[in-house]
C-alpha cells in the first residue's frame, strides 16, 4: 500500500496528458488502465487455444510414445512424421487447413496441436528410455508384468522428462498462439494485428507482455505439477 500513492500519481499525470496516445509513445499507462477490459476476452481465448492444443497434443504424443516404447520399430516413423509437423511453420499450417476446416478456432487448435507433438513425443520417449535397466529388473523381480511395470515404475521415473517436454511445448504454444489471429482464431494476437493496431505501440506492448506473463504462469503451474508428480524424488533424497 505504501507504493500505491506514487503509482496513482503517475497514472493521473499520464491521464491528464492525452498527447501520449497522439504521439504514440511506447507505453501509455493511462490508456492501459482505461482499456483494461478489452484484454479480458483475448486472454481467455488465448488460454483456451493453449490448453486445448497442449492437452490434445499430449494425449496423442503420449499414446504414440507408449506404442513406440513397446514396438521399437515404430519410433523412426513417429519421429519423422511429428518432425514434419513440427517443421511446418504454424502460420503456413493454418492456411493449409483453410480448404478443409475454414477460418476459426478449430483450425488454429489443429495447427498448434501438430506443433506440440514432436516436443512431447521426444521427451516422453527419452524419459522412458532413460529408466535404468536394473530398476526395471528390480520391478520384474517384485512380480510386475509389462503394464504395471510401465505405469508404476517407468512412467513415474520418466516424469521429470515428461514435464520438461510439456513446459517447452506450452511456453512455445503461448507465443505461437498470437498468430491465430490470421485465421480468426482469436487470442491476444487480435490486439496486435487488428486494423490499425500494428502501429499502436501501447496496444502491442500490452498484448505482448500479457502473452509473456501467460507463458510464465503456465510454466510455474507445470513446475508445481511436476513437483507433485515426483514425490519419490523427495523420499529418495531425504
Partner 1 sequence: MEAGGERMSGLVPHLSLGALGLFGDAFDFIFHQQPAKTGGGLATVGGLDQVGTLAVEQLKVTVLALGLSIAIAFPIGAYLGHRGAGEGMALAIGNAGRAIPELALIAFMAAAIGVGLGNLTMALAVLGIPPILTNTYVGISQVDRNAVEAARGMGMTGGEVIRRVELPLAVPTIMSGVRTATINIVATATIAPLVGVLTLGDFILSRNVYGDEGVLAGAILVALMALALELSLAGIQWLMTSPGLRLGRE
What is the nearest approach in angstroms of partner 1 to the Cβ of residue 83?
Answer: 8
| Residues of span 177-206 touching partner 1 by CB under 8 A | 178-179, 181-182, 188-189, 192-193, 197-201, 204-205
d(C-alpha 135, C-alpha 88), whole Å: 39
What is the nearest approach in angstroms of partner 1 to the Cβ of residue 114?
Answer: 11
Name the segment binding partner 1 (CB under 8 A); options: 13-21, 37-45, 147-155, 210-218: 210-218
Site string for partner 1, 93-112 (x = CB under 8 A): xxxx-xxx------------
Cβ–Cβ < 8 Å for 144, 109 = no
Torsion of CA 117, 165, 140, 152, to 10 degrees: -100
User: What Å distances lie between residue 139 and 20, 37, 86, 97, 148, CA to CA?
Assistant: 67, 55, 36, 46, 9
H or E element in which residue 189 lies: none
The angle subtended at Cα 92 by Cα 91 and Cα 98, nearest 5°, is: 100
Under the criterion CB under 8 A, does residue 78 sit at the interface with partner 1? Answer: no
Residue 227 grid cell: 513437483
Return the number of the residue (158 or 177) whose C-beta is nearest partner 1. 177
In the complex, the residues that contact partner 1 under the rule CB under 8 A are 24, 26, 83-84, 86-96, 98-100, 168, 171-172, 174-176, 178-179, 181-182, 188-189, 192-193, 197-201, 204-205, 207-208, 211-212, 215-216, 219
Amino acid at each position: 500500500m505504501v507504493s500505491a500513492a506514487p503509482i496513482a500519481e503517475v497514472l493521473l499525470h499520464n491521464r491528464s496528458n492525452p498527447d501520449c496516445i497522439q504521439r504514440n509513445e511506447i507505453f501509455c499507462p493511462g490508456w492501459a488502465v482505461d482499456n483494461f477490459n478489452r484484454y479480458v476476452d483475448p486472454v481467455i481465448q488465448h488460454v483456451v487455444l493453449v490448453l486445448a492444443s497442449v492437452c490434445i497434443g499430449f494425449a496423442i504424443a503420449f499414446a504414440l510414445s507408449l506404442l513406440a516404447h513397446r514396438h521399437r520399430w515404430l519410433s523412426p516413423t513417429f519421429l519423422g512424421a511429428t518432425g514434419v509437423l513440427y517443421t511446418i511453420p504454424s502460420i503456413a499450417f493454418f492456411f493449409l487447413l483453410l480448404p478443409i476446416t475454414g477460418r476459426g478456432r478449430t483450425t488454429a487448435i489443429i495447427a498448434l496441436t501438430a506443433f506440440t507433438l514432436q516436443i512431447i513425443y521426444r521427451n516422453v520417449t527419452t524419459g522412458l528410455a532413460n529408466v535404468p535397466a536394473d530398476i526395471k529388473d528390480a520391478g520384474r523381480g517384485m512380480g510386475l508384468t509389462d503394464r504395471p511395470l510401465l505405469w508404476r515404475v517407468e512412467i513415474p521415473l520418466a516424469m521429470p522428462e515428461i514435464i520438461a517436454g510439456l513446459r517447452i511445448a506450452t511456453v512455445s504454444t503461448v507465443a505461437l498462439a498470437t498468430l491465430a489471429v490470421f485465421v480468426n482464431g482469436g487470442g491476444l494476437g487480435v490486439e496486435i494485428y487488428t486494423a490499425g493496431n500494428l502501429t499502436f505501440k501501447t496496444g502491442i506492448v500490452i498484448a505482448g507482455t500479457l502473452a509473456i506473463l501467460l507463458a510464465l504462469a503456465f510454466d510455474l503451474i507445470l513446475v508445481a505439477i511436476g513437483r507433485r508428480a515426483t514425490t519419490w524424488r523427495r523420499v529418495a533424497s531425504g
